[in-house]
Structure 1
Amino acid sequence: MEPKVVNNNYDTVSGKKMNRPLGKLWRSFKTDRDFSLFLIVGLFAGVASGINSTVFNNFLNDVYNLSASARGIVEFPRELPGALIVVILAIISFLGDIRMSIVAMLLAALGMVGLGIFSPTFSSMLIWMMVLSLGTHIFMPLSAGIGMTLSKKENFGARLGRYNAYNLIATIIGYAIVGVGFKYFRLTYKIVFIIAAVSYVFAAVFLGLMNPRKPEVKKVKFVFRKKYTLYYILSVINGARKQIFLTFAPWVLIQIYHVDPPTFAILGLIVSLLSIFTRTIVGNAIDIKGERFVLSLEAIVLIVICLGYSFAADIAPTGVAIVIISACYIIDNSMSVVEMARSTYVKKIAVDPEDVTPTLSAGTSFDHVIAMTIPFLGGILWLTMGYKYVFLVAAFIALINLFLTMKIKVD
């Protein structure tokens, strides 16, 4: 008697024939539903993030005409929600990671609407910017926690890499909206901010379709263990270096080289295309080589990038210098994926699985406490000595980061 052959091209629910690609996609969704929904969340969140990251600095420059020192001061209220995130997550932890993420996406949407419609003055802009920042910072530690909850220990890196790759694909759409819209369709900051808000709302909707996974026991609200000390220190050092780049790298391009939103969209597009590959590569490297290798390599590359920002104008004519600085900007932004190595490091050394989200949120808070002061000091340094010295300080911080990452040990 011949064995029965199962036709996998039929939907077992409806009995209708499906073509192979769609059949494979549908089976994957049915067998891994929550992770598939989480990937869709990453798509919508990526579109919104791509729009915001592309136009926000130009928005500040064009609408409010900020100086370098004023731009540094703006980072204090912008990063304040991040500094308080460990307390905020502790207060709303009874909701569980999924429901907290829904709240985060809705706050981000509200903030984008406020920036687009209700920010006639600089002070009102700061309020809506803080609402947006609160939403994105709530989601920051939660996204890694959710991704790892939906994964097995041996494929944390690969699964987070896949989520981040989807997220980066979506930022291409965000960059395209800005680049094409501003250049050919005369889009305004108001319109693109509304588009970003709608994307955040859709992200909240798909989060709502996931299993909320509310914890059966009360979650640990605050976790500070000696075992996590290195992670906390790395968070502080990384936050200092990262904030210099986030605040002043685009400001160099805007203030010194007069780069406009469509050009930033092109740079962002290059970053996204490059990062689609680097995020998967980094995810696999974490699984194969480990967190210490990945984070050490990041630190070395960042030192070179900082030196590029500092000395490009001194060693090359203006046309070449802007290419060098743009290349530094692209490489730095495409390396943001390395953040997941710090997340998987915490997951692997965690004494208790319930420690992961509180510890990641604590790291985010420590990161942002330093991030609130660094831009202010960087702005003063820019005005008194020039922007090159801002990035020389960043190079020194990256060197400290390299020394600390060499101490990482995972059982």
Structure 2
Amino acid sequence: MKSSRFAPFPLAQADQLPLWRRPVALLFLTAMAMPVAFATWSALLNNFVIEVANFDGSDIGWLHTVREIPGFLAIGVIAILLFMREQILGLTSLILLGVATALTGFFPQLGGILTLTMLSSIGFHYYETVNQSLQLQWLDKERAPKVLGQLLAAGSAATLVAYGLIMLTWRTFELSYTSVYMVAGGITAAIALFALFAYPQFEAPNPQVKKFILRRRYWLYYLLQFMAGARRQIFTVFAGFMMVERFGFDVHEVTGLFLINLVANIFFAPLIGRFVQRFGEQRALMVEYTGLVCVFLAYGGIYWFGWGVLLASILYVIDHMFFAMALAIKTYFQKIADPGDIAPTAAVAFTINHIAAVFLPALLGYLWLVSPGAVFFLAAGMAATSLLLSMLIPRHPCKGNETRLSRFVAAVAE
């Protein structure tokens, strides 16, 4: 069946397309394209800002605060969707991420880095908002956990190739930050541009509400998103910074650590998806948050008790693996949501997820200057709070049974 890229293509008829042009294939393609730019930017960032721009803990905190502002403003996606289809918005955002990443090395001053960080972050966060929405719309509830795990593995595999090339060529060919950023960003932008023209505009069976919504019955989902965003910032900003500042990791060593994370994700992400599918979201999240409490306490011990680089590296890998289990938050929402709420709630959830991200990196950057260990102990407290919240998720969540308190509240209301 022929289709114009400008005309809506019913999702129910997608099986008539070649395998490579189906919705799931597009999800896999973009899942592999996005990390090439974003993960390369992340892998080089700490060395780039320390060696080239002379950043300290306060500077890196401000950079990540700027990076998270577009995430906080992700609710703006709802307004854009009044004029643009989700799929087109997602791919154009991915192009912006790639282009901004490609230009990063040309502006090695604080102002230039912050400006391009803002632009790449707009691309990343708007892409991720739309991508999460499309995943939940295009995947049925029964196989969503399994496929989400496979998508994580696909992204890890693509990034593995990129990191492997950085490790093998960085010193051998004396690569510059400018050239690596330009190649990685260019690849992401090129793939997104191809997908923009090669795929039809898939239309999900349930029209999405294109206005701001905030439903009381989603309160637990909102809280889990808020805590996940606050906790993630500490890992994203300070765990990698610690490896460079405290232990003197070079670019190829940081990249090697990232490679270990990727290999672990390739093997474990699909297993995590099947674990969620079999045992449910509550158990998966309880395992994640219990593990993160232990990991963050151990991070703090590295500074307070002088534990060494080997333990820090092991914790970094374990930490990254636990975060893959956060896909259970997505599938939990998919089970309790009205089908038309997925797109607007994805935007609202992204904003909630980034409330703490706007001020936390800069604030904790100052705390880092005084006591790095205290930053990680604070993260352990956040993980413990998330653990308590996860206990409220029912074994079989659905509309009307969003939390373990839902039936009690309904009974009291009657």
TM-score interval, smaller chain: 0.7 to 0.9
Q: Residues 207-226 of structure 1: matches in 2 within 5 Å? A: 207-208=195-196, 209-214=198-203, 219-226=209-216
Q: Residue 148 of structure 1 contacts residue 160 of structure 1 at CA under 8 Å; is this kept in 2?
A: no
Match in the other structure for 1:13: none
- Measured on the aligned residues, the alpha-carbon RMSD in Å equals 2.1
Match in the other structure for 1:401: 386
Q: Residue 235 of structure 1 contacts residue 367 of structure 1 at CA under 8 Å; is this kept in 2?
A: yes
Moved more, 330-339 or 159-168: 330-339
One-letter identity of the residue aligned with 1:404: L
Matched, 1:387 2:350: no
Match in the other structure for 2:356: 370
Match in the other structure for 2:310: 323
CA distance in 2, matches of 1:282, 1:332: 14
Match in the other structure for 2:128: 140
Match in the other structure for 1:130: 118
The 1:121/1:330 distance shift into structure 2, 3 A limit, reads same
Over the matched positions of the two proteins, sequence identity in percent amounts to 27
Matched, 1:306 2:291: no
Match in the other structure for 1:99: 88
Moved more, 246-255 or 148-157: 148-157
Match in the other structure for 2:230: 240
Q: What secondary structure does 2:143 align onto?
A: helix
Q: Residue 51 of structure 1 contacts residue 196 of structure 1 at CA under 8 Å; is this kept in 2?
A: yes
Could you tell me which of 264, 267, 270 is aligned with 2:254?
264
The 1:346/1:274 distance shift into structure 2, 3 A limit, reads same
Match in the other structure for 1:276: 266
Question: Which digits, 9 at most, give the CA deviation of each residue in 1:339-396, with x for residues without a partner?
Answer: 3211111111002x12112212211111112111111221121222x21111001111
Question: Which digits, 9 at most, give the CA deviation of each residue in 1:235-286, with x for residues without a partner?
Answer: 1111111101111111111111111110011111110000112210111111
The 1:67/1:40 distance shift into structure 2, 3 A limit, reads same
CA distance in 1, matches of 2:211, 2:347: 10
Match in the other structure for 1:333: 320
Q: Residues 24-173 of structure 1: matches in 2 within 5 Å? A: 29-30=18-19, 33-117=22-106, 119-173=107-161
CA distance in 1, matches of 2:283, 2:82: 33
Q: What secondary structure does 2:199 align onto?
A: coil
| Structure number with larger C-alpha Rg | 1
**Alpha-carbon shift at residue 327 of structure 1 (Å):** 0.9
One-letter identity of the residue aligned with 1:390: V
Unmatched 5+ stretches in structure 2: 1-15, 399-414
Q: Residue 294 of structure 1 contacts residue 341 of structure 1 at CA under 8 Å; is this kept in 2?
A: yes
The 1:90/1:287 distance shift into structure 2, 3 A limit, reads farther
Match in the other structure for 1:19: none
One-letter identity of the residue aligned with 2:76: V
CA distance in 1, matches of 2:65, 2:271: 34
Q: What secondary structure does 2:202 align onto?
A: coil
CA distance in 1, matches of 2:179, 2:125: 23
Q: What secondary structure does 1:222 align onto?
A: coil
Could you tell me which of 322, 337, 344 is aligned with 1:350?
337
Moved more, 205-214 or 182-191: 205-214
CA distance in 2, matches of 1:295, 1:92: 31
Could you tell me which of 219, 223, 241 is aligned with 1:251?
241
Could you tell me which of 167, 171, 174 is aligned with 1:186?
174
One-letter identity of the residue aligned with 1:50: A
CA distance in 2, matches of 1:80, 1:390: 21
CA distance in 1, matches of 2:79, 2:277: 30
**Alpha-carbon shift at residue 206 of structure 1 (Å):** 4.3
One-letter identity of the residue aligned with 1:138: Y
The 1:249/1:31 distance shift into structure 2, 3 A limit, reads closer
Q: TM-score, normalised by structure 2?
A: 0.87
Q: What secondary structure does 1:104 align onto?
A: helix
Question: Which digits, 9 at most, give the CA deviation of each residue in 1:178-228, with x for residues without a partner?
Answer: 212212111111111111212221331343222312579574221210111
One-letter identity of the residue aligned with 1:99: I
CA distance in 1, matches of 2:342, 2:208: 14
Moved more, 52-61 or 391-400: 52-61
Moved more, 334-343 or 365-374: 334-343
One-letter identity of the residue aligned with 1:192: V
Match in the other structure for 1:360: 346
**Alpha-carbon shift at residue 141 of structure 1 (Å):** 2.4
Off by >4 Å, runs of 4+ in structure 1? 214-218, 313-317
The 1:218/1:143 distance shift into structure 2, 3 A limit, reads closer
Q: What secondary structure does 1:213 align onto?
A: strand
Unmatched 5+ stretches in structure 1: 1-26
Q: Residue 20 of structure 2 contacts residue 26 of structure 2 at CA under 8 Å; is this kept in 1?
A: no
The count of aligned residue pairs is: 380
Q: TM-score, normalised by structure 1?
A: 0.87
The 1:195/1:31 distance shift into structure 2, 3 A limit, reads closer
Q: What secondary structure does 2:52 align onto?
A: helix
